[in-house]
A and B are shown apart, each in its own frame.
Chain A
Amino acid sequence: MTHDTFLELRHIRKEFGGFTALQDINLDIRKSEFVCFLGPSGCGKTTLLRIIAGLEVQTAGEVHQGGRDISRLPPALRDYGIVFQSYALFPNLTVADNVAYGLVNRKTPRAEAAKRVSELVRLVGLPGSEAKYPSQLSGGQQQRIALARALATSPGLLLLDEPLSALDALERVRLRQEIRALQQKLGVTTIMVTHDQEEALSVADRIVVMNQGLIEQVGTPMEIYREPASPFVADFVGKVNVLPAHVSGGEMRFGALRLPCDGADRDVKVYLRPEDVLARPIAEGDPHVFNATIEKIEFLGSFCHVHVTSPALDKHKLTVYLSLNFLSEQSLQIGSTLPLRLLPERIKVF
């Protein structure tokens, strides 16, 4: 435990009947950090968040927040603000009453509460909306108000349970940047649950990748993307090509390509991201260059996902990203052959 650890999870385990939702989760979260729990649905990320909130009770294990053991405390005795996917705004109360909901109970003087409310609605970018009812706001605006309500009592921890999932694509991108900016401004320790890898990569200080009740990897977005600790992480975060390979005698072979590799003789899988296969520059005599034939072009705008095969890869399919300009410059189409170069230092082997 480092000196600035704010939230500490020790051996957290959760069972629902016979089903184990979480097995032995250990995690330290630093003060003012923005952490994302990322994983497919059913991986236990929401359960873990609800355990931190005290909304679910762990079967075993401890939760410490700010040096205090909160493992057995009911939600009302913990210190956090929470935002749900469904907003959970009180529909019969105005925006001002919603934001002030937690303040009123703390005997905050009326004038002070009103001041705090207007400060908060300005903070989330909706000044002047105090008198409106939630149903008069768009989804993104409602979620901003839910955020203001969660922050009103200045909690030490902000929990976000898939806050952006119910919003449309554009609003989602806008709001996630706003949340990030707000979090950095306030310095509040934040945990966000999401199944959207792009969302996690773009806002988090650190990402906790979870799968089947276990933590697969904890790391910065760059680490998660560039140095995936497991095949699951490599596959789940970003796109990846998977190719079978064989290691023997300090060398790994896949298709006609050779790369140095230590270890005993074994079959392995090579994980290679599409952007780590380049179409230029191609140097003469580079051992990592091979010829490939275009099988299919998936047009996605400025970039295309191009599916290629190559005798050098034993006919295994490979997806690469090529720019539209490059394709038209070289007048490439289905059936064309082109040289490609892979970046050996980027290859991951499992």
Chain B
Amino acid sequence: MPLSTAAKLPLVRQRVHWIDHLAYAALALVALILMAFLAAPLIAILQQAVQDKAGDFVWLDNFIDYARTPALLESLWNSVWVSAAVTAITVPLAFGFAYALTRSCMPFKALFRGITLIPLLAPSLLSAISLIYWFGNQGVLKGWMQGLGVEQIYGAPGIVIAECFAVFPHALMILVTALSLSDARLYEAANAMGTSARRKFFTITLPGAKYGLISAALVTFTLVITDFGIPKVIGGSFNVLATDVFKLVIGQQDFAKGAVVAILLLAPAVLTFAVDNYVSKRQTAMLTARAVPYRPTPARGYDALMTLYCCIIALLVLAMLAMAVFASFASFWPYNLTPSLGHYTLGLVDAEVGVGFMNSLKMSAGTAFFGTALVFCGAYLLEKTRGMDKLRGFVRMLAMLPMAVPGLVLGLGYIFFFNAPDNPLNGLYHTLTLLTLCTIVHFYTTGHLTAVTALKSLDSEFEAVSASLKVPFFKTFWRVTLPICTPALVDIARYFFINAMTTISAVVFLYSPETKVASIAILNLDEAGEMGAAAAMAVLIGMASTIATLLFMALAWWINRRTQAWRE
């Protein structure tokens, strides 16, 4: 048999061209960066959680200690029920909104969608500040609220409402995507059989959006349970896990317990990540390439109802935003409402937020530039070069990991890892460089996925053709891959920039007075009782993000004209 003679021959291994060695080295460098700034800090948390203060291994003693502290257990319960409540309120509301956007002929869809996405441009605690102006001790509508039987906004009610505003756009985006993936042929078949609208909704629409709903619920729950800014501002004496971590680590220097809480926070995020991964695979499998997209048909009564619903939601969002803007200009709330720039000068000059604002811009620009470069090169090396399969799998896993790590946990890991005196990278601690790196890693996965999608849409044989023409891969990367992918690059950069402007959770552990960023300054102003200045700074961040978004859009348009001429 020829089979047996062939089996005796030695296994063939291709010689590695020096150019491929270059690709391996680059991939190893990406792996090294992700190991130092992602894997190592996470390991440091695990390590802290099983050590006592002297650094001895104590098994699960810290966890047992934690379980024996009633105050901490109460925070766990608070976190869980508040997150569950927000999920239960937000997901149905967002589903209704997404349904109106995708399945009705309502007018002004782009406007409605745009309004509900505005909160993404400002730090999430903006909604908490605004709520205080509406319902706080000196709030405009405090009487109404008390008439409804709620004694005060500080605590659980405030957290729940503020979080609903903050996570609404996230849930909405997921649900819009899920509801857009529909097959009109199913509805046509149902219509041909004379199915009632109600039955179509429960047998076609809802099952079709099932995975989107699961995903939206999980993301909402995770965002709420790991959010730090809102409970800090409006939580009062109502403790949750996220504020506990901060108190334990920064206040009491109890690193071990802090690490335990961090691991508790990691659990829902990891679960979300795993379920989401599974769900997104099922979602794509459901829709075949031959599906025909659903086109809603006008129906006057139904469309009017949907418009009314979206108007209410949009007005609520606008009310929340407008109050923060209004209050930031009010001279002395609530006694003197004449507009002035007092809060802005107080915040920027007296409280030196101006420096923080510059730091924010520097950090965001750095994150956008270096983050995009790292993410895109990493994705390119993973998708378009050959060999080193083990390292490749490892880097791929590291690139997906940040999705499962809440910012608070990542920041904590950075303290444990980079603040250790024997770490050679210790010099980075408290620097803007480390803040930038932390933010890049925090938001790595979304950028990575955008880059991978863009790269996957390229012909997979470009690299083979280049090799046959003896053109090194980096030349093809520069002449072909990069120019084709510029729209995706701008997208990634914009995402990095805006998230770096508004992030609080990861960087709250890492700043020093010199490297304080604007979003952190808001927290400090709020703590100092300067609500007006806090509102002013939050509005400023929102405006900076808006301007940045517009600039990125202009850049995308310009680049499109310059480099995408070949697209018809």
268-288 of chain B: CB within 8 A of chain A: none
Asked if residues A102 and B5 are in contact (CB atoms below 8 Å), the reply is no
Count of B interface residues, CB-CB < 8 Å:
39
| Chain A residues within an 8 Å CB radius of B563 | 92
Asked if residues B461 and A84 are in contact (CB atoms below 8 Å), the reply is yes
Asked if residues A105 and B14 are in contact (CB atoms below 8 Å), the reply is no
In the assembled complex, the Cα of A13 lies from the Cα of B2 at a distance in Å of: 10
Asked if residues A135 and B566 are in contact (CB atoms below 8 Å), the reply is yes
B199 close to chain A: CB less than 8 A = no
| Chain A residues within an 8 Å CB radius of B43 | none
- Quick one: given A75-B468, A82-B464, A84-B464, are A136 and B15 in contact (CB under 8 Å)? no
Nearest A residue (CB) for B459? A88
B551 close to chain A: CB less than 8 A = no
Asked if residues A57 and B14 are in contact (CB atoms below 8 Å), the reply is yes
Asked if residues A74 and B566 are in contact (CB atoms below 8 Å), the reply is no
A186 close to chain B: CB less than 8 A = no
Give min CB distance, A97 to chain B, whole Å.
8
Nearest A residue (CB) for B483? A92
| Chain A residues within an 8 Å CB radius of B461 | 84, 86, 88
| Chain A residues within an 8 Å CB radius of B566 | 91-93, 133-135
In the assembled complex, the Cα of A150 lies from the Cα of B20 at a distance in Å of: 22
In the assembled complex, the Cα of A12 lies from the Cα of B284 at a distance in Å of: 38
Which residue of A57, A76, A82 contacts B12 across the interface (Cβ within 8 Å)?
A: A57
283-338 of chain A: CB within 8 A of chain B: none
Give min CB distance, B136 to chain A, whole Å.
56
In the assembled complex, the Cα of A152 lies from the Cα of B2 at a distance in Å of: 39
Asked if residues B484 and A75 are in contact (CB atoms below 8 Å), the reply is no
| Chain B residues within an 8 Å CB radius of A82 | 464-465, 468
Which of B61-69, B469-477, B498-506 touches A? B469-477
Give min CB distance, A330 to chain B, whole Å.
46
A77 close to chain B: CB less than 8 A = yes
Nearest A residue (CB) for B12? A58
**Binary CB contact string for chain B from 1 to 26 against chain A (1 if under 8 A, 0 otherwise):** 01101110111111111011000000
In the assembled complex, the Cα of A53 lies from the Cα of B466 at a distance in Å of: 12
Give min CB distance, B23 to chain A, whole Å.
11
Asked if residues A55 and B14 are in contact (CB atoms below 8 Å), the reply is no
Asked if residues B14 and A86 are in contact (CB atoms below 8 Å), the reply is no
Asked if residues A23 and B2 are in contact (CB atoms below 8 Å), the reply is yes
| Chain B residues within an 8 Å CB radius of A190 | none
Nearest B residue (CB) for A153? B469
Which residue of B12, B467, B567 contacts A135 across the interface (Cβ within 8 Å)?
A: B567
Give min CB distance, B75 to chain A, whole Å.
49
Asked if residues A84 and B465 are in contact (CB atoms below 8 Å), the reply is yes
Tell me whether chain A's interface is mostly helix, strand or loop, or mixed.
Answer: loop
**Binary CB contact string for chain A from 172 to 213 against chain B (1 if under 8 A, 0 otherwise):** 000000000000000000000000000000000000000000
B479 close to chain A: CB less than 8 A = yes
Which residue of A54, A61, A134 contacts B14 across the interface (Cβ within 8 Å)?
A: A54
Give min CB distance, A318 to chain B, whole Å.
37
Give min CB distance, B332 to chain A, whole Å.
59
B425 close to chain A: CB less than 8 A = no
| Chain B residues within an 8 Å CB radius of A59 | 11-12
Give min CB distance, B20 to chain A, whole Å.
6
B565 close to chain A: CB less than 8 A = yes
B480 close to chain A: CB less than 8 A = yes
32-65 of chain A: CB within 8 A of chain B: 53-55, 57-61
Nearest A residue (CB) for B14? A57
In the assembled complex, the Cα of A228 lies from the Cα of B7 at a distance in Å of: 29
Asked if residues B470 and A105 are in contact (CB atoms below 8 Å), the reply is yes
Give min CB distance, B7 to chain A, whole Å.
8
88-113 of chain A: CB within 8 A of chain B: 88, 90-93, 101-102, 105-106
| Chain A residues within an 8 Å CB radius of B16 | 74
| Chain A residues within an 8 Å CB radius of B462 | 88, 90
| Chain B residues within an 8 Å CB radius of A106 | 470
Asked if residues B475 and A105 are in contact (CB atoms below 8 Å), the reply is yes
In the assembled complex, the Cα of A77 lies from the Cα of B14 at a distance in Å of: 11
A348 close to chain B: CB less than 8 A = no
B422 close to chain A: CB less than 8 A = no
In the assembled complex, the Cα of A127 lies from the Cα of B214 at a distance in Å of: 57
Asked if residues B17 and A74 are in contact (CB atoms below 8 Å), the reply is yes
| Chain A residues within an 8 Å CB radius of B468 | 53, 75-76, 78, 80-82, 102, 150, 155
Asked if residues A86 and B6 are in contact (CB atoms below 8 Å), the reply is no
In the assembled complex, the Cα of A74 lies from the Cα of B19 at a distance in Å of: 10
| Chain B residues within an 8 Å CB radius of A74 | 14-17, 20, 467
| Chain B residues within an 8 Å CB radius of A77 | 15, 17
**Binary CB contact string for chain B from 378 to 396 against chain A (1 if under 8 A, 0 otherwise):** 0000000000000000000
A73 close to chain B: CB less than 8 A = yes
Asked if residues A73 and B11 are in contact (CB atoms below 8 Å), the reply is no
160-216 of chain B: CB within 8 A of chain A: none
B568 close to chain A: CB less than 8 A = yes
A217 close to chain B: CB less than 8 A = no
Asked if residues B13 and A72 are in contact (CB atoms below 8 Å), the reply is yes
Asked if residues A75 and B464 are in contact (CB atoms below 8 Å), the reply is yes
**Binary CB contact string for chain B from 529 to 568 against chain A (1 if under 8 A, 0 otherwise):** 0000000000000000000000000000000000111111
- Quick one: given A23-B6, A24-B5, A92-B483, are A57 and B465 in contact (CB under 8 Å)? no
Asked if residues B11 and A88 are in contact (CB atoms below 8 Å), the reply is no
Given contacts A11-B5, A91-B484, A149-B469, 19 further A-B pairs with CB under 8 A are: A11-B6, A13-B9, A23-B6, A24-B3, A55-B464, A60-B10, A76-B19, A77-B17, A82-B464, A84-B461, A84-B465, A86-B461, A101-B466, A101-B471, A105-B475, A106-B470, A133-B565, A135-B567, A152-B469
Question: Nearest 3 pairs between A and B by C-beta?
Answer: A102-B469, A24-B2, A75-B467
**What is A's interface to B at a CB cutoff of 8 Å?**
11, 13, 23-24, 53-55, 57-61, 71-78, 80-82, 84, 86-88, 90-93, 101-102, 105-106, 133-136, 149-150, 152-153, 155
- A selection of 24 A-B contacts at a CB cut-off of 8 Å is A11-B5, A11-B6, A23-B6, A24-B6, A58-B12, A60-B11, A61-B9, A72-B15, A76-B19, A76-B468, A76-B470, A81-B469, A82-B465, A84-B459, A87-B459, A88-B464, A91-B567, A92-B563, A101-B469, A102-B471, A105-B470, A135-B566, A150-B468, A152-B469
